[in-house]
Chain A
Amino acid sequence: MNYAYNVSHLLAGLMLVASFALLYQDRIFAVLNTFAAQAMLLAMSVGWEGWSQGRPNLYITAAIALILKGIVIPVALHRMIVRLGIHRDVEQVLNVGKTLLIGLALTALSLLLVLKVTAAAQNFTREGLALALAIILLGLLMMITRRNAVTQIVGFMSLENGLILAATGARGMPLVVEVSVAFSVLIALFVFAVFVFRIRERFDSVDIDALEQVRGDRK
């Protein structure tokens, strides 16, 4: 029991560290690599939960996470970046220090909140939910602070990593739902990809600031 807890704590904690690395990283290929590493950690974490709690259906979730998010999506994004020709640095609205401080505050908030709310639940569930909420909030933060459309996609995907982690912590999420969520993420990637290429065609840039020009209230 204690051993099982230690390993799952290690993997979930490393996922949180990967989220912070995503926030910190300003080179676009490094962002992709960190995201792939986080997805692989997610797959290991889900697989470990499946093994230690005897829930074999989690292996399927782990396999989906590994193949789709660990390999397919990073490779697809990599090719998208090469085709867009944006190997340059990622631009950010806030500076890195402030972003990281906000991230720390969000993490502390989610840990305190989940530990208070779920006082009656099992240890695994509390731990998983607390870290998952932190990862979700960090994914949201990444989507807010980035101006490049591709890194915003990565932020969305990392948010979804947190959702899967929360789902494995809480028992009772049916497999059908997990599979459909996984594929809807894949669909979302296609939609994003089309959208990003349309933005680039229209504005010659994937910087979201370019969209500000089409707002009606700006003269």
Chain B
Amino acid sequence: MGNTLILLVGQGIQMFLVILVAPAVTGIVRRVKARFMRRRGSPIAQPYRDLLKLLRKEAVVAGNASWLFRAAPYAILAFTWVAAALVPTFASGLMFNWAADAVALVALLGAARAILALAGMDVGTSFGGIGASREMMIATLAEPAMLLVLLTMALTAHTTRLPEIADYFIGAPITVRVSLALALAALTMVALAENARIPVDNPATHLELTMVHEAMVLEYSGRHLAVIELAAQLKLVLYISLIASLFLPFGMAPATAGVVAWIAGAATYLAKLVFAAVLLGVWEVSIAKMRIFRVSEFLGGAFVFAFLAILLAFLTGEVTR
């Protein structure tokens, strides 16, 4: 009984940890980018202040908006938050370990995306429609690649549950595998596209011709916008946690290891987050955004990498059996 309680507490900590650090990660990315452009940049805590400011402001809703428009932000945040709370962060084998399934994760994110696209089209402005159609184009290309990557890992670890995959790679001897390197490359490309990061979309601009994510949320204001922005920040943390737990799982504590191990695990996790955020910032200042019509090539490359990864993992599995 006591054990169950510990697992539940651990899951709760994880749930609130991801949402608390999410704005800070975005803040670090923005700060790093600003410093590289020789600007001073806003403080790392600025996204928190923005969210608080938006929460206090009045929410303006278009006259022809339906209930969907008002409900969508909360549904998006709920789906993203559940998904982010399931990805293992500082400890593996927590209470809802059985639900942290790779395919379920993709489904949760897909549901959030579908609602966002519907909300973008709800008011009937042209930008919302453009954004929604582009988002769907990116999603149809990115989702198969992501599923293939997750199945590659599952094929190697013989399970689709993320914490168990992480445990397998912590325990397995370190080997050089092409399939894992290819899977990492593919998942990184998918993560960049899904989070509307620079080669695919520019999170810092409101230029009408290029925007995807911003075009869909253009009509939102006040607390609705705050919730949607929080969901986007949470999604970034989710993808970083996913990559970290699949490819750099070291430092993750078993769920029953005690408080000290948990704190050590949390410290490594936060270090990984900061490292990934700095890396993302450096990446974003060093390359240019590509044309929207070239995104299919970029994500097609991710798909090819993921497919090769699963083929090579299959080959290794067959040959060494």
In the complex, whether B315 has a CB less than 8 A from a CB of chain A is yes
Number of interface residues of A (CB under 8 A): 26
Decide yes or no: A16 and B320 within 8 Å by CB, A7-B176, A130-B315 being known contacts. no
In the complex, whether B5 has a CB less than 8 A from a CB of chain A is no
In the complex, whether B259 has a CB less than 8 A from a CB of chain A is no
Q: Are B300 and A115 in contact (CB under 8 A)?
A: no
Complex Cα distance A103/B307, Å?
11
Complex Cα distance A126/B317, Å?
12
Q: Are B308 and A97 in contact (CB under 8 A)?
A: no
Chain B's closest residue to A100 (CB) is: B304
CB 8 Å contact bits of A111-133 with B (1 = contact, 0 = none): 10001000000010011001100
Q: Are A6 and B308 in contact (CB under 8 A)?
A: no
Complex Cα distance A123/B319, Å?
6
Q: Are B301 and A115 in contact (CB under 8 A)?
A: no
Number of interface residues of B (CB under 8 A): 21
Stretch from B41-49, B57-65, B85-93, B177-185 at the A interface: B177-185
Query: B178 contacts which of A10, A96, A97 (Cβ < 8 Å)?
Result: A10
Q: Are B300 and A111 in contact (CB under 8 A)?
A: no
Complex Cα distance A2/B7, Å?
38
Q: Are B176 and A127 in contact (CB under 8 A)?
A: no
Complex Cα distance A97/B297, Å?
7
Q: Which residues of B174-205 have CB atoms within 8 Å of chain A's CB atoms?
A: 175-179, 182
Interface of A is mostly: helix
Q: How far is the CB of A31 from chain B (nearest CB, A)?
A: 16
Q: Are A14 and B178 in contact (CB under 8 A)?
A: yes
In the complex, whether A48 has a CB less than 8 A from a CB of chain B is no
Chain B's closest residue to A110 (CB) is: B311
CB 8 Å contact bits of B149-180 with A (1 = contact, 0 = none): 00000000000000000000000000111110
Q: How far is the CB of B38 from chain A (nearest CB, A)?
A: 33
Decide yes or no: A97 and B300 within 8 Å by CB, A107-B308, A123-B319, A126-B319 being known contacts. yes
Interface centre among B175, B296, B319 (most CB of A within 10 A): B319
Residues from chain B with Cβ under 8 Å of A111 in the complex:
311, 314-315
Q: Are A20 and B296 in contact (CB under 8 A)?
A: no
Residues from chain B with Cβ under 8 Å of A7 in the complex:
176
CB 8 Å contact bits of A6-20 with B (1 = contact, 0 = none): 110110011011001
Query: A115 contacts which of B176, B179, B318 (Cβ < 8 Å)?
Result: B318
Decide yes or no: A5 and B176 within 8 Å by CB, A104-B304, A111-B311 being known contacts. no
Q: Are B178 and A17 in contact (CB under 8 A)?
A: yes
In the complex, whether A94 has a CB less than 8 A from a CB of chain B is no
In the complex, whether B139 has a CB less than 8 A from a CB of chain A is no
Interface CB pairs A-B, < 8 A, 23: A2-B175, A5-B319, A7-B176, A9-B178, A9-B312, A10-B176, A10-B177, A13-B178, A13-B179, A16-B312, A17-B178, A96-B297, A97-B300, A103-B304, A108-B311, A111-B311, A111-B315, A115-B315, A115-B318, A115-B319, A127-B315, A130-B315, A131-B315
- Nearest 7 interchain pairs by C-beta: A13-B178, A123-B319, A104-B307, A127-B319, A10-B176, A6-B175, A115-B318
Residues of B within 8 A of A (CB): 175-179, 182, 296-297, 300-301, 304, 307-308, 311-312, 314-316, 318-320
- Beyond A104-B304, A104-B308: 15 further Cβ-contacts under 8 Å? A6-B176, A9-B178, A9-B312, A9-B315, A16-B312, A20-B304, A96-B297, A97-B297, A103-B304, A108-B311, A115-B318, A123-B320, A127-B315, A127-B319, A131-B315
